[in-house]
Amino acid sequence: MTFSSRNPNADAPIGIFDSGFGGLTVARAVVDQMPNEDIIYLGDSARAPYGELPLASVREYALECLDYLAAQGVKALVIACNSASSAVLRDARERYSVPVVDVILPAARRTASATRGGQVGVICTEATANSRAYDDAFVANPQITLHTQACPEFVEYVEAGITGGPDLLAVAQDYLAPLQDDNIDTLILGCTHYPLLTGVISYVLGDTVTLVSSADECAKATYARLTRLNLLHPGPRESRHRFFTTGNPERFERLGRRLIGGLVADVEQFSALNPAWKD
């Protein structure tokens, strides 16, 4: 089998950025959908969670990390964080010469086609809720009524490696009760930590509510963008996955393996606060 019209930039890696661990769900989805692609993942776990920070701080930290990934010669940047997407997406698309994919717009597009009655819920961080980014994403769909619920404790549970148990169930029931009262038929998991809590969320809401994962939809959008630009690596190969964290590499690897399996290995330290740091 031969591959013609090959784009020389197809060999470059995909850069994936998140405030911490949640974006690993995007990395997992990217690897599953594009197994021949190299990835470089950077999690700013030392300064997480972004959801509790002012938008100005989120913007500063996110651009700092995206600048590093862009400098590594990536062929695309994936902002695998809803809080960061709401803060820097427009700036990032003007700042970088490579395609930039976020998690908000792909999830909104999928939701618009999935909802049956137009009653849509979104669970997210405080920063994403305050930004009204999902409200803006649905502005062209007046038939959709959006019900937003911030769920900050969900991030704490995921980053502690807890995805079940009575305490988490009680928190989920409390967070999701207002959305049940609103009779939503579709729910956006508007934080990339939340797909790891699909079990408890589905248990509370029941099978009649369709869940839309911003992580999965982001990976699909990345595939589509790279395909349109002829940037997908055309043939099978052993791909390379590199993981950096601004926090503790051992903790990041331990939790990453617990959450998404053996994909996370040999995590490297990145000091975002030291501009002289070099790979």
Cite the active site residues.
81, 191
Instruction: Select from 13, 173, 26 the least CA-distant residue to 104.
Output: 26
* pLDDT at position 276: 41
- How far apart, in whole angstroms, are the C-alpha atoms of residue 208 and residue 205? 8
* pTM, rounded to two decimals: 0.90
Here the tokens at position 265 are: 């290995």
Query: Would you say domain 8-102+217-269 falls under CATH 3.40.50.300?
Result: no
- How far apart, in whole angstroms, are the C-alpha atoms of residue 152 and residue 129? 11
Average pLDDT over residues 97-111: 96
- How far apart, in whole angstroms, are the C-alpha atoms of residue 21 and residue 24? 6
Q: Say if CB 192 and CB 22 are below 8 A apart.
A: yes
Reply yes or no on whether the pLDDT at 275 is more than 50: no
pLDDT digits (tens, 9 = 90+) for 24-62: 999 999 999 999 999 999 999 999 888 888 889 999 999
* pLDDT at position 234: 81
Fold match flag (8-102+217-269 vs 104-214): yes
pLDDT digits (tens, 9 = 90+) for 235-261: 888 899 999 999 999 999 999 998 888
Q: List, in sequence order, every residue forming a beta bridge with 101; answer none if it has no partner.
A: 78
* pLDDT at position 278: 40
Q: What architecture is the 104-214 domain classified under in CATH?
A: 3-Layer(aba) Sandwich (3.40)
* pLDDT at position 279: 39
* pLDDT at position 272: 58
pLDDT digits (tens, 9 = 90+) for 132-141: 999 999 999 9
Listed by start position, the domains of the chain span 8-102+217-269, 104-214
